[in-house]
């Protein structure tokens, strides 16, 4: 009897890894994109809540209420779309968003022949001062001073 192998094979994808210097050089751009992601997510959440509040009003909505609910839903969808576009910019660089509201993202690199991540934190005075191994828990933070930042590898198979 044959097994169904459609889902058995994991697709391999090459991930571009960064050097510490490259990551530091990209900080102005990364800060701008993460700030946009945060603003778009907050706008979407606000508009979704407005639409929900209007929909949950007791009784039947009047004309003005229906128009306000439709506009709030449309504004939420537009903010979601802008969020997805900004997220696609990050993903094209193989940078992964952890939390848009907290302004946190992961930048891949290789340390001791293991996949690791620089942890970007938009609300930290020095946004790139921590890292973690891929296998470590997500909240793990190691000081960047532990590594030399001189990584030559350019891709990692995931």
Domain boundaries, given as residue ranges, for the chain:
9-26+94-158, 28-92
User: How much is the pLDDT for 15?
Assistant: 87
**Rounded (10°) angle between helices 27-55 and 63-92:** 160
User: How much is the pLDDT for 152?
Assistant: 46
| Predicted confidence pLDDT, tens digits, the chain (158 residues) | 455 555 545 667 788 999 999 999 999 999 999 999 999 999 999 988 988 888 888 888 788 888 888 898 899 899 999 999 999 999 999 999 999 999 999 999 999 899 999 999 999 999 999 999 999 998 899 999 888 544 444 555 55
């Amino acid at each position: 009897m044959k097994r169904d192998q459609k889902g058995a094979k994991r697709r391999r994808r090459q991930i571009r890894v960064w050097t510490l210097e490259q990551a530091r050089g990209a900080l102005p751009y990364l800060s701008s994109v993460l700030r946009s992601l945060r603003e778009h997510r907050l706008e979407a959440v606000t508009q979704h809540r407005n639409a929900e509040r209007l929909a949950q009003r007791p009784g039947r909505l009047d004309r003005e209420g229906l128009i306000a609910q439709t506009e709030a839903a449309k504004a939420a969808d537009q903010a979601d779309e802008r969020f997805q576009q900004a997220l696609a910019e990050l993903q094209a660089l193989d940078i992964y968003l952890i939390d848009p509201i907290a302004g946190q993202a992961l930048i891949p690199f290789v340390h001791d022949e293991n996949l690791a991540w620089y942890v970007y934190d938009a609300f930290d005075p020095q946004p790139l001062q921590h890292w973690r191994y891929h296998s470590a828990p997500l909240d793990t933070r190691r000081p960047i001073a532990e590594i030399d930042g001189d990584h030559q590898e350019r891709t990692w198979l995931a």
